[in-house]
Amino acid sequence: MYILALRSAASNSRLPYDKLTAQELVHFPDASDSKASTNLYLFIRNKILQLWLLEPNVELTSEDAIDQLPIPFNSDRRFVRRIHGFLQRYGFINYGNFHRLASALVLTSKRKRVVIIGAGAAGIAAMKQLHFFGFDVVMLEARKRLGGRVHTYHQKDSSVVADLGAMVVTGINGNPIVTMMRQTQCTPVRITPDCPIYDEYGKLVDQRKDELVAEAFKKIGDTASYIAHTLGVTEVNGKNLSIADAYNEILE
């Protein structure tokens, strides 16, 4: 059961349970000196991930991690702090909407200011994380609302509510959005296979028509992928093709 919990923590953190990633090998070459060193690193890393996922509403400090590691895995405190620092630096722990226990990290050099353009989900996440790392952050947004594509429409004088975008979470395992849902007490609702589509006049679209359009869209996507990846055609008249450009070229 204990091993399964650590394996699950690694999987839900987008990391392999039983080996170091290429990025980890760069930062921890000493962890690959021997099988014992590798196993030690993996146990500490997976345990820290488990501790964070058990309570993602509260910052997991390096000292908390050391205190909760079983003996003798907590004997090399500096090694544990290095692993904790790596996981924090690359967003595997202490991300999203959590209660901070320690003061903001202080940069050793002159405090830097970062400007983030766009207050969408990615911009807000970057702002919070950079602020946590000790940067001064300024966010710019052209619209009068936050959220970007995440936009819920409330009709005036009515109980009508409609999500206009980014309301679907695709994939649960290893998805940090799931952790953020727990942090904000959002309850996910399973999407059923039935997904009726309505046109701009509120009329139900014929199912066969919907299937034909979806099939055509998929074929165009497959064709664009073949042209780009198999034939190596990624530009026209010296101009790089975007996905929209590729679709338009195929349709024409």
State which H helix or E strand residue 121 sits in. Answer: helix 121-132
Report d(CA 132, CA 124) in Å as an integer: 12
The CATH number that domain 2-89 falls under is: 1.10.10.10
Q: What's the CA gap between 8 and 14, in Å, rounded?
A: 10
For 198, which DSSP code? B
Q: Which residues pair with 163 in a beta bridge?
A: 152
pLDDT in tens, 213-234: 889 989 998 998 888 888 888 8
pTM, two decimal places: 0.75
Tens of pLDDT, residue by residue over 121-144, are 899 999 999 999 989 999 999 998
Do 205 and 198 touch, CB atoms closer than 8 A? yes
pLDDT tops 80 at residue 109: no
Per-residue pLDDT of 3-41, as tens digits, reads 899 999 999 999 999 999 999 999 999 999 999 999 999
Whether the per-residue pLDDT at 104 is higher than 70: the answer is no
Please tell me which residue, 103 or 101, carries the higher pLDDT value: 101
Domain boundaries, the chain: 2-89, 103-148, 207-251
Q: Is the pLDDT of residue 148 over 70?
A: yes
The pLDDT-based confidence of 247 (bands split at 50, 70, 90) is confident
Gap between the Cα atoms of 149 and 167, Å rounded:
9
